[in-house]
Structure 1
């Protein structure tokens, strides 16, 4: 009797009402079991951690990526190579500086260079390693001879190469780095959206994730103190939305507030995870099909079947796309 009454009750509803009824019922069930989806990544629970006890004084240096620092240093000391990838301003250069400082404090030789012409980069590496750049006759070494000299030095000594913005280096220079890896020369590369070619495809990588909320807030408090301005908690929360876990954008947001600039939107790549919502819509379409079958509503049955088929096809297509193509930009 109960089943018959339920069918009679929904038989007079139009498809839109049935859709709303189905979505409401599913959301109620999810909430009852404590598994309601989170549609926003503004405050993800995975990134909420215990705040640091003390906020450092303005100008004091702090590393928020201690795990990445330890992992990178250990890889280099094992004659390995590692690539640190992340968006602009995510803290790659700060992390690299900490790695260089730690290695040099332990007595190791490190060459930390930035992109330039291949010859200039080779000369800079040679200068930092105290490798002669002239032959016995006083003539400057060619790029090919510099490459041979640097490779020989790395084979005979424990020394490390750290290259910032490696994605901007010429392809020929990156191919030379690939040859250095054949002799197990340890190197750290930092890149924004590195291509899947040459040296970048040969070495393991660490993808820098957005910093947790407490770290971004701390960076903003320090930046505000350096500029002698006081920010209310509500103002900090508004600025954090613009930063999106990016430390450079956090400092820039404070600068814009200091200058009184009215900025809308943000430049970060922190995205909303709408996967739970997509799955929920698919379930609703399937439920609609069964409701149409139980109520003998042919239109609802056909609509639910077509919608479910289209949804499954699109979800499968999106699943097979590369990760960066699934991002909501």
Structure 2
């Protein structure tokens, strides 16, 4: 016998329980979707196959440029008869970037001389050799340094060619002054240096400060280095090594070498700094709270100490905030 408003049990559950279960399931599914853990749906047809997602892993020995923006900016500046200075700490990838610039310019048919630091005479001879400039006179004697400078300057005025000097900060001061004279004639050149001083040629041309590489790039470099040494590194080990690299690609490869050799290294040589201004602000706030505690409890010494310490810490944080960034400071 059915009565109006009667609750009918279905499989031992009343309709309100069924509604509660359905609502709970919908909410749970929505939560999983929002968190990105919703189950993947299978293909509706048995003939359709779902392609597995394969993560791209760097190939050992494959050349990859992680500073494409700097590469494009540098090449564009050189093609506009400009000069540019790339500065960064040792191992930050300056030479790798320079090689990429050389390859790009040579692929476009331009003449490029890529020089490393040596004695002024040796560097002049190397520039002449790479540009196919005669280094001997009619009698078969080597040209003097002054005559080599004149021959190279004449060649650069008559031809479209580029000078790229690696570790320019190690070059002799007289050689850098000669580069400054070439720059007055609008000779395009690229200089790479570590902590270049604000003198001679370095103060005349714009600079690009190489920032630390992002974490994904450092991880890829470490994966490649580990694959070349036939070692397997766990994600936790990679994360630990990344802390030692600090965004420096050379230090990243060295960290893998040290791990391969079983060396226990605590610190690192990178110069990646951390901003402690928020910690100073928290300390200042703590001293302000201490001042109010002293005021509420009637402790005059705590009140005075908290006020002075808060003023010092807050003033120090303001001073650090107003300091110019590292790449804008005069060395």
For Structure 1 versus Structure 2, the TM-score category normalised by the shorter chain is: 0.7 to 0.9
Q: Tell me the equivalent position of 1:247.
A: 249
1:302 Cα deviation after fit: 2.5
Can you give the 5+ residue segments of structure 2 that lack an aligned partner in the other structure? 1-53
Q: Tell me the equivalent position of 1:206.
A: 208
Q: Deviations over 1:71-129 (max 9, x none)?
A: 11001101111111111111110000000000000000000010000010011001111
Change (3 A) 1:152 1:137: same
Q: Tell me the equivalent position of 1:227.
A: 229
Mapping for residues 1-329 of structure 1, pairs under 5 Å: 54-286=56-288, 288-289=290-291, 298-311=300-313, 314-315=316-317, 318=320, 323-324=325-326
1:311 Cα deviation after fit: 3.1
Contact 2:82–2:186 under 8 Å retained in 1: yes
Q: Deviations over 1:219-246 (max 9, x none)?
A: 1111111111111111111111111111
1:299 Cα deviation after fit: 3.0
Contact 1:318–1:326 under 8 Å retained in 2: no
RMSD: 2.5
1:321 Cα deviation after fit: 6.1
Change (3 A) 1:218 1:142: same
Normalised by the length of structure 2, the TM-score is: 0.77
CA distance in 2, matches of 1:153, 1:90: 33
SS in 2 for 1:55: coil
Contact 2:280–2:314 under 8 Å retained in 1: no
Q: Tell me the equivalent position of 1:10.
A: none
Which structure would you say has the larger Rg?
2
Deviates more, 1:133-142 or 1:318-327: 318-327
Normalised by the length of structure 1, the TM-score is: 0.77
Can you give the 5+ residue segments of structure 1 that lack an aligned partner in the other structure? 1-51
